[in-house]
Structure formats: structure tokens, C-alpha cells
Structure 1
């Protein structure tokens, strides 16, 4: 996905939030996958606008 350092940090923050909502102490693969999917969705919306 060619993430910059800033983009990587943002994805990790979203994944941490998702893990918190799951009451998980650690960020799991599903949390990261969901965070990345939100980023991909946002890019698609940005391109359509």
C-alpha cells in the first residue's frame, strides 16, 4: 500500500483503537486488516470526489 511513516502511524492508531474496542491488550492481525481496509476505503472515496 506504499505507506509513508505518517500513514503507517495512523494505521497503527486506528488498529489500537479497534483493539481497545475489542477489549484486547494487543493489536491483532484482524485489527490491522480492518484499519488498512478503512484506509483503502477512504482512498477510494477520495478518488471519486
Structure 2
């Protein structure tokens, strides 16, 4: 709320890119996950917003690899549950 005046879930695309910056290595990790899981750009932004929320809950100023990995894991679980339904 302090950073953007709204919850991370409501960030627009430009706000997501502004507030959810990743290191080069983490950008590569996200790109690999997108290819492996066949994710859309919309899914990528969702992962970034979730990673930002995880980082916020951990009290971190920046998204770290552990936060990004956890967010990717949640997206993978969500996709697996959708296929089973």
C-alpha cells in the first residue's frame, strides 16, 4: 500500500514492471519458467505481483530469488490443479 497506494494484486502492467524489478539472473529464471510452463505475459505479471507480495511479507525491499521461486511454484500448482479438474 505504501509503495503504490494499492494492493499488489491491483497493480497495472506498468506499475508491476516498475515495482517488481528482478536481477538479471532472476529474469532468466522467470523466462525459463515461462517457457517450461508455457505461460502467457499475463501469467508473468501475476507471478511478479505474487513475488512482490511474498517479498513484502518477508520485509524485503527487493524481490529475491526465493520469493520468485515461491511465486513460480504457486503458479505451477495452480496449473496442475486446473488440469486435474
Task: Measure, in 2, the Cα distance between the counterparts of 1:27 and 1:2.
Answer: 23
Task: Measure, in 1, the Cα distance between the counterparts of 2:40 and 2:84.
Answer: 22
What is the root-mean-square deviation of aligned Cα atoms in Å?
0.8
Post-superposition shift, 1:5? 1.1
Q: TM-score, normalised by structure 1?
A: 0.92
Ranges in structure 1 where 5+ consecutive residues have no aligned partner: none
- Residue 43 of structure 1 corresponds to 79
Ranges in structure 2 where 5+ consecutive residues have no aligned partner: 1-36
Which structure's CA Rg is the greater one? 2
